[in-house]
Amino acid sequence: MATTTTNVGAPSDTARWMGIRVARPSLLGIVAYIVLVAVAVAILIPIGYAVLGGFKTNGQLAANPGQILPDPWVLENYEEVLVGKSAPTFWGEFGNSLLIAFISVTIAVVFASMAAFVFARMQFRGREALFTLFVFGLLFPTAVAILPLFILLRNLGLMGTPWGVALPQAAFALPLTIVILRPFFRSIPAELEDAARIDGCSSFAFFWRVLLPLARPALATVSVLAVVTTWNAFLLPLVVLNGAEQWTLPLGAQNFSTQYSSDQARVLAFTVVGIIPAIVFYAIAERQLVGGLTSGAVKG
């Protein structure tokens, strides 16, 4: 692995050599521990409620709302979402989410790495001004652009298409991606570029054959961040996707929850199955995600 400036994995590694002293149990330590456990419980309650609620019947949910474990456990709700009556809805929305995430993350990462390359390694007039233009995008809520964006997408004929969500989503992801990639690209030694030039590499060849392979950890980080943002996006899909067969998972979950508002057990099952991809993704890519967010923000 190449060395990385993006702090990936830094927290635990640094802690290992710095935190040699294991705190002796003190009154303060015990209070802290109680607070931590209380917060952990507060986090787990909604998640546990949803997961376990999916194994209950509506009768159980209504009769004993405070009961934690299902009695008896029923598999029906999850079955119905995964393979039963609601399965076409769920898997259709899953597919839409996947397609949109794929298009938008690919475009964002490819375009942003090209731009970050130029911003990091080339001298030209107006470079910092252009870079600032992209940074500007970090400072504003995307909601500001949503009404004119709607008009624009309608004029472009992109309403109700995956592209109508994926392209703006990629555009929104550009600032953060460029801001994270630029210092990384900059940290690759100039000697390497000179050597590549002498060996006859063009700028493009250097970018493609040397820089990108070296930047794999940083690319993983920005991709993970972009995937999570796109996967969870709500406002833009809500505006662009007007037919049920186009919906992404967050939109689908919201509509499912109003459509079957009397069938709460099924709503909970649908919701839980819908968040599994996010949780699995988090479990796999936790380091990139946390590393990316902290390197982007802590370094300013």
Partner 1 sequence: MTALSARTRGNGSGARRSKSLTIALFLLPALALYVLFVLIPIVQAGHYSLYKWNGLQPLTDFIGLKNYETALSSAPFRAAIGNNVLIIVLSLAIQIPFSLALAVMLNRRFPGRAVFRLLFFLPYVLSEAVTGIVFRLLLQPDAFVDSAMSTVGLGALVQDWFGDTNVVMITMFVIISWKYFGFHMILMLAGLQGIPKELEEAALIDGADKRQAFRHVTLPLLGPTIRVSVFLSMIGALQLFDMIWVMTAGGPLNASNTMAISMFKAGFKGTQMGYGSALAVILFLFSLVVALAYQRFVLRRDTEGALTTFGG
Interface with partner 1 in residues 119-138 (CB under 8 A) = 122, 124, 130, 133-134, 137
What count of other Cβ atoms lies within 10 Å of the Cβ of residue 160? 16
Residue 49 vs 102, nearer CB to partner 1: 49
Q: Please, what is the minimum distance in Å from the beta carbon of residue 266 to partner 1? A: 12
DSSP 243: S
User: CA quadruple 189, 190, 191, 196: dihedral positive or negative?
Assistant: positive
- 46 touching partner 1, by CB under 8 A: yes
Q: Which of 43, 69, 83, 284 binds partner 1 (CB under 8 A)?
A: 43
Residue indicated by tokens 């991606």: 177
* Near partner 1 in 205-244, by CB under 8 A: 207, 228, 231-232, 234-235, 238-239
Please tell me the distance from the alpha carbon of residue 8 to that of residue 6, in angstroms, as a whole number. 5
* Near partner 1 in 133-192, by CB under 8 A: 133-134, 137, 139-152, 167-168, 170-172, 174-175, 178, 183, 187, 190
Cα–Cα distance list, 162 to 96, 112, 242 (Å): 7, 20, 11
- 21 touching partner 1, by CB under 8 A: yes
SS3 string, 74-104, reads: CCHHHHHHHCCCCHHHHHHHHHHHHHHHHHH
- 299 touching partner 1, by CB under 8 A: yes
- 82 touching partner 1, by CB under 8 A: no
Residues with Cβ < 8 Å from 234, sequence gap 6 or more?
250, 251, 254
Q: At how many degrees (to 10) do helices 162-186 and 264-298 cross?
A: 30
- 201 touching partner 1, by CB under 8 A: no
Q: Please, what is the minimum distance in Å from the beta carbon of residue 63 to partner 1? A: 11
CB 94, CB 159: distance < 8 Å: no
What count of other Cβ atoms lies within 10 Å of the Cβ of residue 231? 19
Count of residues interacting with partner 1 (CB under 8 A): 110
Q: Which stretch binds partner 1 (CB under 8 A): 39-47, 76-84, 85-93, 208-216?
A: 39-47
- 54 touching partner 1, by CB under 8 A: no
Q: Which of 2, 36, 192, 244 binds partner 1 (CB under 8 A)?
A: 36
Residue 124 vs 243, nearer CB to partner 1: 124
Q: Please, what is the minimum distance in Å from the beta carbon of residue 200 to partner 1? A: 11
Q: Which of 251, 263, 266, 288 binds partner 1 (CB under 8 A)?
A: 251
72: cis peptide before it, omega within 30°?
yes
